[in-house]
């Protein structure tokens, strides 16, 4: 999702969502602009930095009493995200997660408690979504290609084979030894989705512990906010209409919250007159259908990310049934027919 300015009002900035796709997940980039403006009336400034972390774009915005403090806090935020990246990035060959993957079917690997606990929570999400979210999705064979090279459907045999190594049930955790074992050779786990949400959550936690009263950490699709703008007004976001990306379905205000959006309408292929999205059902190996956009609000970007992707895979009925069990989270889903559905605990104007 691209977050961009919609208007300047009383010298404060409002931001909106506009979806863009990278890989499985809709990405967010914040382009608030002119954040170097000093708010003399409140004695606060906003500073923003964009950087590449965890293989994705991160946008970090901090509200502080002066420029030097804001810049220092941004550096500390980057350091915290980098620390997490070195633990869980499966594209770094020396990370603990890479060591787990390299030893799939061979032996259990001892990991830091932080990595162990994150894996345990990811498996819990996999369980409550009945596999619509699966931490072992990293092992999926890419039989669906979205680079324009695909001219015919994969065979049912190819699709079935593509998910042979996917299955959170084959992950063995030993809490006493703090080890992770993948039963199947070639199996992999990956935190490309909830890992960024976790990083956004942790960055916010670190900043709050240091006394930062307000900010935004946008982890390439997983966004956390806290506090308010320098004039006291809330952060403002809007959800893009998937059928007319210059318009918005709804605009919302955020305080201390997290929001993620998954969408499958900008990256797809068409075969024999039928559209196939880039979000794959980890159980069947087929692209998800029915829901084109799912936005989840809640206290944690990690959990919201797990929900938003799962809702698209599960579809309207099963998706609403799932999220309605968790009152701290709410969602807004848009179907491929343009209908909007909200969870029963959706309490936003």
CA 26 to chain CA centroid, nearest Å: 8
Longest dimension (CA), the chain: 66
Handedness of CA 125, 127, 132, 138 (dihedral sign): positive
Contacts of 209 (CB under 8 A, 6+ apart): none
Q: What b/e string do you get for 164-178 counting C-beta neighbours within 10 Å, with b at 16 or more? A: ebbbbebbebeeeeb
Helices (H) and strands (E) in the chain, counts: 7, 21
**pLDDT at res. 245:** 80
Q: Is 105 left (phi over 0), alpha (psi -120 to 50) or beta?
A: left
Contacts of 243 (CB under 8 A, 6+ apart): 265, 338
Q: Which residue carries 């906003």 as its tokens?
A: 46
H/E segment holding residue 276: strand 274-277
**pLDDT at res. 42:** 53
Residue ranges, the chain, pLDDT below 50: 1-41
Least Cα distance to 342 among 289, 294, 303, 290 occurs for: 294
**pLDDT at res. 274:** 77
Cα distance between residue 291 and residue 263, in whole Å: 8
**pLDDT at res. 9:** 39
Cα distance between residue 165 and residue 182, in whole Å: 10
Least Cα distance to 237 among 9, 2, 47 occurs for: 2
Cα distance between residue 161 and residue 176, in whole Å: 35
Least Cα distance to 323 among 308, 340, 339, 313 occurs for: 308
Output phi, psi for 321, to 5 deg. Answer: -60, -40
Let me know: does 78 contact 51? Beta carbons within 8 Å: yes
**pLDDT at res. 82:** 96
pTM of the model: 0.85
Q: How many CB atoms lie within 10 A of CB 247?
A: 9
State in Å, rounded, how far the first CA of the chain is from the last one: 21
Let me know: does 307 contact 329? Beta carbons within 8 Å: yes
Domains of the chain, start order: 96-182 (1.10.3980.10)
Let me know: does 131 contact 282? Beta carbons within 8 Å: yes
Strand runs (DSSP E) across 242-339, as ranges?
244-254, 257-263, 268-271, 274-277, 291-298, 330-335
Give Cα separations from 224 to 170, 189, 306 (angstroms).
32, 24, 15
The DSSP output letter for 279 is P
């Amino acid at each position: 999702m691209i977050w961009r300015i919609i208007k300047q009002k009383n010298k404060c900035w409002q931001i909106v969502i506009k979806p863009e796709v990278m890989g499985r997940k809709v990405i967010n980039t914040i382009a608030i602009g002119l954040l170097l403006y000093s708010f003399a009336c409140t004695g606060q400034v906003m500073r923003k930095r964009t950087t590449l972390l965890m293989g994705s774009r991160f946008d970090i915005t901090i509200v502080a009493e002066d420029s030097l403090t804001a810049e220092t806090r941004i550096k500390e935020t980057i350091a915290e995200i980098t620390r997490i990246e070195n633990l869980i990035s499966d594209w770094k060959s020396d990370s603990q997660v890479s060591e787990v993957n390299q030893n799939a079917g061979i032996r259990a690997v001892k990991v830091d408690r932080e990595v162990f606990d994150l894996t345990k929570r990811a498996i819990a999400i996999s369980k409550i979504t009945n596999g619509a979210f699966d931490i072992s999705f990293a092992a999926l064979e890419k039989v669906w290609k979205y680079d324009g090279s695909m001219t015919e459907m994969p065979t049912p045999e190819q699709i079935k084979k593509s998910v042979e190594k996917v299955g959170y049930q084959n992950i063995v955790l030993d809490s006493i030894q703090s080890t992770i074992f993948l039963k199947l050779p070639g199996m992999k786990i990956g935190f490309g989705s909830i890992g960024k949400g976790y990083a956004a959550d942790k960055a916010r936690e670190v900043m709050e512990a240091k006394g930062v009263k307000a900010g935004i950490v946008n982890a390439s699709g997983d966004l956390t906010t806290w506090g308010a703008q320098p004039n006291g007004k809330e952060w403002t976001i809007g959800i893009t209409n998937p059928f007319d990306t210059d318009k918005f379905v709804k605009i919302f205000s955020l305080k201390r919250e997290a929001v993620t959006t998954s969408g499958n309408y900008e990256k797809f292929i068409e075969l024999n007159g039928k559209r196939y999205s880039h979000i794959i059902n980890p159980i069947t190996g087929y692209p998800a259908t029915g829901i084109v956009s799912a936005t989840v609000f809640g206290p944690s970007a990690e959990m919201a990310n797990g929900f938003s992707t799962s809702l698209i895979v599960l579809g309207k009925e099963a998706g609403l049934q799932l999220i309605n069990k968790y009152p701290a989270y709410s969602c807004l889903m848009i179907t491929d027919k343009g209908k909007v559905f909200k969870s029963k605990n959706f309490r936003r104007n």
